[in-house]
């Protein structure tokens, strides 16, 4: 199979030959374009995938993104995006394979340390979806001890600790994450959920109001907001937030389900 070195050797040979034979320049140019497109087809798949996903054609977009991943030669952010969407759309096997291939160097020969830690953060989500929450948290604990910090990391770390029931630890990490990120919507929601679980509705309401000002687009924000408003006795406002919750797309990475939304609505009405 052609590689990048072969690409340049062929084009060089054609370029030299074109100086001796009339009319060969156009063939050289055409060959250059075709070979370049061959090596850049991963980018082309990615661009097409992005267009489909923006138009909410998730299935078509994901198929194209998978092609981009399989072809390779794409930026790290696209590899990472493929893993994220594999998790989001429920293709856990695909996510697991991609995580292993990237960490082993099969897809990216010289993986930077920051890139490796990004993939490990995504691996924690993968482990959570495989019902290995303790292993997921252990992995993120190790990253924390190494001094690793970024917004996505704090989002996942705070949420998974909350899921484990270690509320004091979850609170510490989410507050630290908020200091790091400013006003990240997911970290704010992690705080709201943690304060609700601790029966601290005053602080839950405080951070929920900050979150609502940012117009979040995920169901959990409105689900938790509905709980807080119901606790305050604002039933109409609570049901309004339930309606907004229903308008959000539920994915495989969502921490609330349609059944939970239905149950909450029933409790509020009763």
23 band by pLDDT with thresholds 50, 70 and 90: low
Share of the chain above pLDDT 70, in %: 84
The residue that leads in pLDDT, 124 or 56, is 124
pLDDT over 80 at 33, yes or no: no
Asked whether residue 99 is domain-assigned, the answer is yes
Asked whether residue 186 is domain-assigned, the answer is no
Burial of 177 (0-12, 13-18, 19+ CB in 10 A): buried
Asked if 148 and 117 touch (Cβ cutoff 8 Å), the reply is: yes
Q: What is the DSSP letter of 250?
A: P
Tokens for 168?
């004091």
Asked whether residue 85 is domain-assigned, the answer is yes
pTM (two decimals): 0.82
Burial of 18 (0-12, 13-18, 19+ CB in 10 A): middle
pLDDT over 60 at 2, yes or no: no
Tokens for 135?
């292993």
Domain, as residue range, for 125 = 75-130
pLDDT over 90 at 172, yes or no: yes
Question: What is the per-residue pLDDT for 183?
Answer: 87
- Integer Cα distance of 86 and 195 in angstroms: 31
Asked whether residue 95 is domain-assigned, the answer is yes
Asked whether residue 101 is domain-assigned, the answer is yes
17 band by pLDDT with thresholds 50, 70 and 90: low
pLDDT over 90 at 151, yes or no: yes
29 band by pLDDT with thresholds 50, 70 and 90: very low
Helix (H) or strand (E) holding 114: helix 113-129
| Alpha helices, H only, 146-234 | 151-164, 167-181, 185-197, 201-213, 219-231
Question: What is the per-residue pLDDT for 190?
Answer: 98
Tokens for 80?
């990472």
Q: Which residue has the tokens 């030959």?
A: 17
Asked whether residue 34 is domain-assigned, the answer is no
Contacts of residues 25-33 at CB distance under 8 Å and 24 or more positions apart, as own/partner, are none
- Integer Cα distance of 91 and 73 in angstroms: 22
Torsion-angle region of residue 110: left (phi > 0), alpha (psi -120 to 50) or beta?
Answer: beta
Asked whether residue 251 is domain-assigned, the answer is no
Question: What is the per-residue pLDDT for 159?
Answer: 97
Asked whether residue 112 is domain-assigned, the answer is yes
Question: How many structural domains are present in the chain?
Answer: 1
20 band by pLDDT with thresholds 50, 70 and 90: low
């Amino acid at each position: 199979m052609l590689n990048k070195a072969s690409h340049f050797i062929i084009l060089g040979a054609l370029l030299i030959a074109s100086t001796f034979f009339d009319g060969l320049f156009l063939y050289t140019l055409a060959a250059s374009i075709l070979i370049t497109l061959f090596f850049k087809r991963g980018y082309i798949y990615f661009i097409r995938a992005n267009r489909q996903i923006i138009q909410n054609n998730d299935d078509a977009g994901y198929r194209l993104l998978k092609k981009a991943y399989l072809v390779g030669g794409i930026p790290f952010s696209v590899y990472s995006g493929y893993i994220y969407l594999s998790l989001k759309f429920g293709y856990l096997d695909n996510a697991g394979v991609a995580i292993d291939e990237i960490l082993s160097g099969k897809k990216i020969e010289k993986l930077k340390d920051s890139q490796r830690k990004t993939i490990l953060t995504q691996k924690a989500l993968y482990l959570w979806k495989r019902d290995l929450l303790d292993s997921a948290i252990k992995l993120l604990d190790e990253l924390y001890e190494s001094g690793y910090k970024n917004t996505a990391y704090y989002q996942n770390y705070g949420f998974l600790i909350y899921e484990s029931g270690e509320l004091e630890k979850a609170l510490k990490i989410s507050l630290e994450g908020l200091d790091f990120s400013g006003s990240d919507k997911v970290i704010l929601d992690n705080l709201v959920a943690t304060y609700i679980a601790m029966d601290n509705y005053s602080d839950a309401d405080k951070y929920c109001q900050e979150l609502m000002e940012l117009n979040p687009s995920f169901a959990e924000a409105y689900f938790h907001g509905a709980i807080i408003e119901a606790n305050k006795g604002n039933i109409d406002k609570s049901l309004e937030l339930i309606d907004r919750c229903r308008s959000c797309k539920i994915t495989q990475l969502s921490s609330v389900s349609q059944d939970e939304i239905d149950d909450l609505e029933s409790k509020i009405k009763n």
